[in-house]
Structure 1
Amino acid sequence: MKNLAAVCLAMLLCAGEAMADAIVRSQAMFADTIAEYYVEDNHLRLELEIGINDVAAFRNLLPDALYQRLGYDETPLKERLSKFATEDMPVLADGKKLVGRFTSIGPATRPLRDQITGEVLPTPEDEETVVIRATIVFPFDERPESLTLVAPRETGMANIGFVLYHKGVAVNDYRYLSSGNTVNLDWQDAWYSSFPERSMRRQYYSPMTGFIYVEPYEVRKEIIVRPADIQRYVDLGLAGATTIPAERHDEIKEKIVEFLSDHFPVKIDGESVEGSVARVNFLRRSLRSSVVVDNQDLELLPATVGVIYVFPTDGLPQTVEMEWDLFNDKTPTIPAATVDQAGPLPVILEPDFSTLRWENFLKFPELPTLTNIQKPPTVLQSVAGWGRWLMLALSIVLLAGLLRSLFTKRTLSVPLLSFSLSALAITVVFFHQHRQVAMNDERLTQLVGDLLHNVYRAFDYRGEEVIYDVLEKSVSGELLTEIYLETQKGLELANQGGARVKVKTTEVNNAELRNRDGNRLTIESDWKVSGSVGHWGHIHQRTNGYRANLEISVIDGVWKLTGLEILEEQRL
């Protein structure tokens, strides 16, 4: 019976995503050649993956035998490597070329990369691609203010996707490399290193951001900050640190929450409101998701903390406002967004436009509603189930007797006629009543769909007592407590800050009656559940398919779910 909780939990595991930020999609991570630049305190390291289509442009890296076999001159590899690092693909520090040295070069397998984030994924054997991998180190004695990256030209154009990291912080998302891309380096805080071109700016460039999520019965304020920036306002004990040890997470989160309690006030329908802190987590943010990384050592510079505040409401409000009151020279503008059933609406906040405002422009808001479950058979309808055949047989016998009397005695027996017509009338009524409640496939499908709809919809409400009461309308017995406790836990995504999924649709494909014992039905059914969860600026879509045996019984005059056995689960 407890498997229904597993259904609610498992539906969270299959995802598609939408973002509250305007994502700039790039295919640069799938370029023929990938260049990854790593800037450290005294050197830059360039790691290359050179695809076969770009070999001509990178021919100076080829072994002598292969180089000459392709029809080029007899210039030895040593000279060609030096030329590559200084002429083909040099790096300039404050306008002066750095001297590079190769630490490795040779064939390798290209890793599979995520189509959104560019993160390395496990590579199936049948998708392995051979590339030339090379590593070049460019030392520098003094920290440069800027570095200029150059792509090959004299040897031919190449299709190069690149990303640059400064002290572990990604300065840009994957973009295409062209000659003359200059990055300005902030050696005090690498988070603020940047390319001057807006198109080269990484998606999550801001150290702070805010979101307002508006749902029926609940408004959420979500604030994401970087501890390194909060250190500017309040002492978190991070001065001079390079990492945040796991054992200090709770202390730092507590100080951040205390600091934020005096900022970003919220009004709902014009009234100032105080929310409660629902969740506080260290996060690792990517273009695809934000994942909780609590209780592990973290690098200070890219570390972020997310705080979620909850404001209960009576239904859907008309307006929600959040005032952003933290601006400085490092954060003159703040990316923010409001999110409702229609999707995200991103805005940029600044000192003269500091209010993040949501207005209810929803024409057809989706409010949590329960479906009226079809009523179980009445006493008359139950009797009609088996009585219709008895009355049909009796009607046939009486009509036969009436006809025999008519043909043999040439007289019509009035009492017998009366009994025959009465029996025939009752037979018609019984068949009609049975047809009203007959559990054919259509009615079974509707009954299963309505019960599942109400179970999932119960968790759209807020407050333990309310959810329990709503759930009790469709579930009974031991299953009620198990579903409430397990589903309450299962609807929260632990690895993404405990955000709760909201079921959108439940679609029953078919339902077949396997057994009937009085008012207890055993039905085999399969259905799809689709839902979404919004948090940390992302909206994730979930869809799962199930096949199960459901036990549905009449309890206190209504159909309720009393048992469930999952037979098959499939991610869709």
Structure 2
Amino acid sequence: MISLRSRLGCFLAVLFLATVQPSIADDVGITSARLIELGEGGYALEADISPRMVAALRPPVVPGRFTLAERPTYRRVGVGLVVRYEFGGSEQPLQAGDALLLPWARSAVLLTARWRNGTVQRAMFPRRVVSIPIPIEVLKPVERTAVEVARQHFGLGFERLQWMALRALLALGIVSVAGGTRRAFRLLLVYAGGHALAMVGVDLGVPPQPPELAAAGLGIAAALLAGSALRDEEEVRLWPLILAAGGVDGLGMADVLSVSGLDPGNVVPALFGTLVGIDLALLAFTLFAAVLWRRVPAGRLADGVTVGLGGLAAAGVIAAVSTGFSATAEAGIDPADRMAAARYDLRSGTGAGGGAGRATPPPRRLEESAMIFLTIEPQEVRVEVLLSLQDFLEPLRIDGGPGSVAPPEVQGEIAARARRMVAGTIELAIDGREAVPLLARTDFVSVAATGVTTRREPVPEPLDTAVLGVSLVYGVDRPPSGVTAGWQVFPTPTSVVPAVWTDPTGSERVTLTPEQPVLAWANDLSSFGTPPIEAVAVRAPRWPLSSMVLVGLALAAGVGSVQRRWGGPALAVAVVAVSVAATLYPFVRTEVALPGLAGWAPSRSEAAEIVDGLLTNVYRSFDLRDEEAIYDRLEVSVTGDQLAEVYLENRRALELENRGGARARVDEVEILEVPSVRRDGEGGFRVVATWKVSGSVNHFGHVHYRQNRYDAALDLIAVDGSWKIRGIELLDERRLL
């Protein structure tokens, strides 16, 4: 049997192998972009593209209070372009609730936001129906209480008109079977009870249901209610049907929320706010419809209306099943803005919004004798140099005339000479001190508009077209304050060397000359650093004690009402108690370590938070290069007997794919779903989870992306008051980008 530590190590190795492959400079449809706050209400949106992608980008749709500059600007950076859109003119800055809409023909955007206070936020935004929505709240997070989350989602249930139409048909079915406002109100309370059960079920682990299924369930319930009205059935016999309709509706809304990017702990409050909004809207509609219904004469006319209602409900079921209700899920974006984005033909890059400027694509070769790329990251500085071999034949002591070819057997010596030349002349200083590289390597490479690729296998290289890529990697203990890189090898007195520096929020191109041979970078970012690794603490279970007490009171009152001990007031008390219990459920929880619950299994939302913290810690551990530091970080989240295996598997994976010295980095870990949580009988619990990992690597000025989805069962155990991963079983792996 494969050991638990081997399974965990192999899983993490697979992650890095599949997530980032720097040796393949393919275009997976992801664009690196930056949102920069300029001050005085102004902003700039920059995107890194290859010249052939110019037609794929259209002007962004910004909030209506801003004015977008008439035309974008373009500048060359390395072998690519940077397109820049500017907008401003508003006294109110971008804030949570705002959104940008990018009508770009791309699969996703990796966007880094740089705010004036120096903070930096980074996130991946996938494409939706016709555009890429950028909710500002993700880039400018605001801590919200559960009550604020519920209030924010109060109107979510009204966004899907077809779904609301089926709810209206259900309300009309209730009116037709009730005949009066009082009975209709009671039946609506039953429907709201179904919503409450769905909310509790989602919190306890009941999986959400597809919106199409929920909509079909509403239509079926409306049709059955119309039939019951024709048969004049008793009200109590309809309660299970209406309760089930409310439950299915609630589970459908939970599915909508599951893909909205909410933190797991906010799903239940958001669902509560959504369902309360739906219930209040249906209450108003039902009471209004009940008043009108009383004016419909009994007999054939009323029966005809009921039959028509049943027909409409049946048609709604067919529509829900056959077409589905695909919403754009572009929160915070006005429908008019969605229409503005749809005006652009994303395939041809033309549209009513007018065209953007054009830039001449650069030739797929080096324009100059050399190019320098300086990359600054929180834990390392990397210098990458491209050399046109024909311009350095003399410094490298290579004999050969026009048409000469370097065979594979001599390429190793040529690469070694180039590496020594670059290492001896680059003159890199970090915070004013000369730095010594931890890693130096050289490869023969090919240059294309999509980036630089290293040769997988040596091939004969013509000296007049060969390009060498030299990579030097320097370790740093903390984010540097300043970095300078000098260059002293100019083939002729008039030669120039393009140089580009890149940090987490942008890049800049400068030209080095014999008179100005230094590339300089200064740090002005307050949040530029490696995220800390923090233990995931074991907390006592949080119980909705107030709701439990109120439900007990409601049950006692309900039993008394049925047995006719207390009469009508008891039923009213039961209804009020259940309503208050449902209202308090998402918001009032008490941490209580009850006796006999050692090794308890948390709720799905709590388990999602635990898994998110542990996986993020593991991935972030490999942001460092120092072996001892990596072990120290891993030890926070992984049990000790697995540390060596995890480290070795990941190091081998990184070295295998680490072409040209570039290092894989995980940008984002997103927990998508936790379908089950159960105790394992060994003092811990097993979580079946689905998550998405986005990774990138900067390689000779070009960013390569990968995004994978994983389904796995994780065995977690509490050690000294903190959760740790004891084992993992990979169930499914899917490459998304």
TM over 0.5: same fold? Answer: yes
Contact 1:371/1:453, CA 8 A, preserved across alignment: no
The aligned residue for residue 252 of structure 1 is 414
Tell me if 1:333 matches 2:359: no
- Report the Cα distance in structure 1 between the residues aligned to 2:688 and 2:713, rounded to whole angstroms: 4
The aligned residue for residue 611 of structure 2 is 448
Select between 283-292 and 514-523 the one with higher mean Cα deviation. Answer: 514-523
Cα distance change of structure 1 residues 376 and 326 upon mapping to structure 2, 3 Å threshold: same
The aligned residue for residue 342 of structure 1 is 505
Output the amino acid matched with 1:8.
F
Q: 1:12 aligns with which of 20, 25, 28?
A: 20
Q: 2:435 aligns with which of 240, 248, 273?
A: 273
Tell me if 1:202 matches 2:366: no
- Report the Cα distance in structure 2 between the residues aligned to 1:330 and 1:444, rounded to whole angstroms: 64
Cα distance change of structure 1 residues 261 and 516 upon mapping to structure 2, 3 Å threshold: closer
Q: 1:486 aligns with which of 643, 646, 649?
A: 649
Contact 2:472/2:661, CA 8 A, preserved across alignment: no
Cα distance change of structure 1 residues 17 and 555 upon mapping to structure 2, 3 Å threshold: same
Report the Cα offset of residue 23 of structure 1: 5.2
- Report the Cα distance in structure 2 between the residues aligned to 1:323 and 1:351, rounded to whole angstroms: 10
SS of 1:491's equivalent in the other structure is helix
Cα distance change of structure 1 residues 484 and 315 upon mapping to structure 2, 3 Å threshold: same
1:344-376: CA deviation from partner (whole Å, max 9, x where unpaired) = 222222233321111102243242311330226
Contact 1:376/1:554, CA 8 A, preserved across alignment: no
SS of 1:500's equivalent in the other structure is coil
Report the Cα offset of residue 462 of structure 1: 2.1
1:266-314: CA deviation from partner (whole Å, max 9, x where unpaired) = 1111222232443221111211132211523223222111111122222
The aligned residue for residue 467 of structure 1 is 630
Cα distance change of structure 1 residues 331 and 342 upon mapping to structure 2, 3 Å threshold: farther
Residues 288-307 of structure 1: pairs in structure 2 closer than 5 A: 288-293=450-455, 294-307=457-470
The aligned residue for residue 377 of structure 2 is 215
- Report the Cα distance in structure 2 between the residues aligned to 1:374 and 1:28, rounded to whole angstroms: 48
Residues 368-447 of structure 1: pairs in structure 2 closer than 5 A: 368-375=531-538, 431=594, 439-447=602-610
- Report the Cα distance in structure 2 between the residues aligned to 1:257 and 1:492, rounded to whole angstroms: 19
SS of 2:537's equivalent in the other structure is coil
Output the amino acid matched with 1:210.
I
The aligned residue for residue 518 of structure 2 is 355
Cα distance change of structure 1 residues 437 and 307 upon mapping to structure 2, 3 Å threshold: same
Tell me if 1:499 matches 2:499: no
1:220-255: CA deviation from partner (whole Å, max 9, x where unpaired) = 111111222221323124445622211112111111
Cα distance change of structure 1 residues 340 and 262 upon mapping to structure 2, 3 Å threshold: same
- Report the Cα distance in structure 2 between the residues aligned to 1:507 and 1:292, rounded to whole angstroms: 31
Cα distance change of structure 1 residues 275 and 570 upon mapping to structure 2, 3 Å threshold: same
SS of 1:529's equivalent in the other structure is strand
1:452-504: CA deviation from partner (whole Å, max 9, x where unpaired) = 00100001122111112211221125532222111122235637424211112
Q: 1:552 aligns with which of 711, 716, 722?
A: 716
- Report the Cα distance in structure 1 between the residues aligned to 2:470 and 2:15, rounded to whole angstroms: 29
- Report the Cα distance in structure 1 between the residues aligned to 2:493 and 2:47, rounded to whole angstroms: 20
Report the Cα offset of residue 330 of structure 1: 8.6
Tell me if 1:228 matches 2:236: no
The 4+ residue runs of structure 1 with deviation greater than 4 A are 17-24, 27-30, 198-201, 427-438
Tell me if 1:569 matches 2:730: no
Tell me if 1:314 matches 2:477: yes
Cα distance change of structure 1 residues 541 and 201 upon mapping to structure 2, 3 Å threshold: closer
When you count helix as a share of all residues, which structure comes out higher? 2
Contact 2:379/2:530, CA 8 A, preserved across alignment: no
Output the amino acid matched with 2:717.
S
- Report the Cα distance in structure 1 between the residues aligned to 2:658 and 2:623, rounded to whole angstroms: 21
Output the amino acid matched with 1:264.
I
Contact 1:321/1:358, CA 8 A, preserved across alignment: yes
Output the amino acid matched with 1:354.
P
The aligned residue for residue 476 of structure 1 is 639
Report the Cα offset of residue 531 of structure 1: 2.3
SS of 1:255's equivalent in the other structure is helix
Unaligned runs of at least 5 residues, structure 2: 1-6, 34-45, 57-105, 107-358, 544-589
1:82-112: CA deviation from partner (whole Å, max 9, x where unpaired) = xxxxxxxxxxxxxxxxxxxxxxxxxxxxxxx
- Report the Cα distance in structure 2 between the residues aligned to 1:21 and 1:345, rounded to whole angstroms: 13
Q: 1:3 aligns with which of 1, 11, 15?
A: 11
Output the amino acid matched with 1:332.
S
- Report the Cα distance in structure 2 between the residues aligned to 1:255 and 1:360, rounded to whole angstroms: 33
Report the Cα offset of residue 17 of structure 1: 5.5
- Report the Cα distance in structure 1 between the residues aligned to 2:493 and 2:454, rounded to whole angstroms: 26
When you count strand as a share of all residues, which structure comes out higher? 1
Q: CA RMSD in A?
A: 3.5
Tell me if 1:532 matches 2:532: no
The aligned residue for residue 214 of structure 2 is none
SS of 1:445's equivalent in the other structure is helix
- Report the Cα distance in structure 1 between the residues aligned to 2:448 and 2:55, rounded to whole angstroms: 14
SS of 1:212's equivalent in the other structure is strand
Cα distance change of structure 1 residues 333 and 454 upon mapping to structure 2, 3 Å threshold: same
SS of 1:261's equivalent in the other structure is helix
Report the Cα offset of residue 316 of structure 1: 0.6
- Report the Cα distance in structure 2 between the residues aligned to 1:213 and 1:446, rounded to whole angstroms: 33
Cα distance change of structure 1 residues 23 and 559 upon mapping to structure 2, 3 Å threshold: closer
Report the Cα offset of residue 435 of structure 1: 12
The aligned residue for residue 264 of structure 1 is 426
- Report the Cα distance in structure 2 between the residues aligned to 1:321 and 1:367, rounded to whole angstroms: 21
- Report the Cα distance in structure 1 between the residues aligned to 2:612 and 2:17, rounded to whole angstroms: 19
Q: 1:25 aligns with which of 51, 54, 59?
A: 51
Report the Cα offset of residue 218 of structure 1: 1.4
- Report the Cα distance in structure 2 between the residues aligned to 1:436 and 1:476, rounded to whole angstroms: 17
After TM superposition, the score normalised by the length of structure 1 is 0.57
1:17-60: CA deviation from partner (whole Å, max 9, x where unpaired) = 55999756237999xxxxxxxxxxxxxxxxxxxxxxxxxxxxxx
Contact 1:22/1:346, CA 8 A, preserved across alignment: no
- Report the Cα distance in structure 2 between the residues aligned to 1:523 and 1:570, rounded to whole angstroms: 19
Report the Cα offset of residue 507 of structure 1: 0.8
- Report the Cα distance in structure 1 between the residues aligned to 2:591 and 2:611, rounded to whole angstroms: 29
Unaligned runs of at least 5 residues, structure 1: 31-114, 116-197, 385-426
SS of 2:622's equivalent in the other structure is helix
Alignment length (residue pairs): 361
Output the amino acid matched with 1:516.
D
Contact 2:538/2:723, CA 8 A, preserved across alignment: yes
Cα distance change of structure 1 residues 350 and 533 upon mapping to structure 2, 3 Å threshold: same
After TM superposition, the score normalised by the length of structure 2 is 0.45
Q: Which has the larger radius of gyration?
A: 1
